[in-house]
Amino acid sequence: MADTRETDVLILGAGFAGLTAARRIAASHRVLLVDRHAYQTLRPKLPEAVAGTSPCAVRLPVADALEGTPVEFLPASVLEIDPERRLVETDTGPLRYARLVVALGSQPHIPAPGSVPGAAEFALPLWDFEHACAIRRRVTLQAHSAARAASAPERRAAASVVVVGAGFAGVEVAGQLQDRLVALTEAFGLALGEAQVHVVERAPRILPTFAPALARAVAQDLVRRGVVLHLNASVRAVTGDAVILADGTTLPAGAVIWAGGVRAADAVAALGAPLAAGRIPVDSTLRSRAWPDVYAVGDAAAVTAPNGELLAQSAQIAMQAGAAVAVSVARDLAGLPPRPSHLSERGAALGLGARSAAAVVAAGNLMLTGWPARLIKDAALAHYLLALGGLRLAGAYLDPVILQPRRGRIEVGNPRMAVQHADPAPRLVTR
């Protein structure tokens, strides 16, 4: 049996919240940071990785983020959290803590076969770099297949993409993929409009948890560029070549991307205490309401806004929470009462393509589109990287768009190379 490692503060998860908290708490206490990956996936950049519109790095090595700090990092998978014994079981052995910060994030939720038949088998999630690569390969393969089809309906069906879910991630990937499909259309000699992006959303508008003004602007931009929106619509089933809606409408698709929600990490779901929307309920200090030695941040935490609703799961909130929980934990260990946090959405920015973006700032009082919105989106990531590692880290990972105008170039890629590196038994819809 492996020896039990002990630490002052154990942080589970090296995402936006976990890394921010680890660096700050380590100034005064021993910190052990655990994550099954030796890198953080910069998820705000995944839609651009799908479309090939950005040359930036998507993975941030944890070693780079922690350089120059006393934080210990352990690459391990979390198997079980036992708050009563102050113990966390991992695949490398047990860990004991004085204070625990759960920052495990969430994972993509694709409905089980009994809920939406075919979704788990045929839909592709977008959660990490491998998913982004798989989607990019699939879309390229399907466009290549469409170019060999005999009729326009066959070409349209093979090259079209359906995105399920019009939240932040779904809308961004739809906008980015629209640019990619236009580039693929030109590269493979398809007629304009033979490759379409369809977005399916059960709510009456896209971005249902964001400001209506932002949602309207983004919807107008997407429709103007050729994206087809299906609102007040839900998915009945997914097949190998189509998405079937609840009203019987069939959307032929060469690729289906499921961006319809997330679920709690397995270790969080198995905690045994009541969860709120799959997250750990916390008070204003980010301390668990069930266990006084446990704190939760990021996607793992259910933080209530002043209006009584749960705060959105976003990188912006995660970074604020990481900084706030560092103060609370340090005060707690010093015998002082934890300090209440004041987390809030200060705006939102979406990248919708190589030359398109939208943003709301100043609590929704200012609406921006085009390159100013693009600049705000990239500046948010710049702020995070600068806070972690200064100019050294930011300079290594930031998209050059911050320093020079974006030209809208999209790398199409070689379809033969796509086939060579595709997932096992790639699905080609040729009809």
Per the CB < 8 A criterion, the answer to whether 254 and 177 are in contact is no
Q: What gap in Å lies between CA 262 and CA 243, rounded to an integer?
A: 20
- 5-36+76-108+262-345: CATH topology is FAD/NAD(P)-binding domain (3.50.50)
Which band of pLDDT confidence, cut at 50, 70 and 90, is reported for residue 105?
confident
Phi, psi of 72 (to 5 degrees): -90, 140
Q: What gap in Å lies between CA 162 and CA 262, rounded to an integer?
A: 18
Q: Indicate the DSSP class of residue 337.
A: P
Q: What is the pLDDT of residues 361-403, one digit of tens each?
A: 655 567 777 778 888 888 888 888 888 888 878 877 665 444 4
Which band of pLDDT confidence, cut at 50, 70 and 90, is reported for residue 412?
very low
Per the CB < 8 A criterion, the answer to whether 299 and 313 are in contact is yes
Map tokens 């680890």 to a residue: 22
Q: What is the pLDDT of residues 139-169, one digit of tens each?
A: 999 999 999 998 988 998 899 999 999 998 9
* All CATH 3.50.50.100 domain ranges in the chain, comma separated: 119-260+349-420
Q: What gap in Å lies between CA 7 and CA 251, rounded to an integer?
A: 53
Q: Indicate the DSSP class of residue 239.
A: -
Q: What gap in Å lies between CA 298 and CA 301, rounded to an integer?
A: 6
Lowest mean pLDDT across 19-28, 60-69, 112-121, 309-318: 309-318
Which class in CATH covers the domain with range 119-260+349-420? alpha beta
Q: At what angle do helices 371-397 and 16-25 cross, to 10 degrees?
A: 50
**320 contact partners, CB below 8 Å, separation of at least 6:** 341, 343, 344
How do 347-351 and 357-361 pair as beta strands? antiparallel
Q: What is the pLDDT of residues 186-214, one digit of tens each?
A: 999 998 888 999 999 999 999 987 878 88
Q: What gap in Å lies between CA 126 and CA 162, rounded to an integer?
A: 13
* All CATH 3.50.50.60 domain ranges in the chain, comma separated: 5-36+76-108+262-345
Is the pTM of the predicted complex or chain greater than 0.95? no
- What's the CA dihedral at 200, 206, 296, 361 to 10 degrees? 150
**Residues 225-237, mean pLDDT to the nearest whole number:** 96
Map tokens 């045994």 to a residue: 272
- The encoded tokens of residue 419 equal 């086939």
Helix (H, G, I), strand (E, B) or coil at 32: strand
* pLDDT at residue 420, rounded to an integer: 30
- The encoded tokens of residue 324 equal 């706030």
Which band of pLDDT confidence, cut at 50, 70 and 90, is reported for residue 410?
very low
Is the torsion defined by CA of 120, 125, 131, 134 positive or negative?
positive
Which of 93-97, 208-212, 316-320, 412-416 has the highest mean predicted lDDT (pLDDT)? 93-97
Q: Is the pLDDT of residue 428 over 60?
A: no
Map tokens 């070689």 to a residue: 414
Q: What gap in Å lies between CA 23 and CA 325, rounded to an integer?
A: 12
The mean pLDDT of the chain is 85
Q: Is the pLDDT of residue 70 over 90?
A: yes
- The encoded tokens of residue 74 equal 């352990």
State the burial class of residue 209 (Cβ atoms within 10 Å of its Cβ: 0-12, 13-18, 19+).
middle
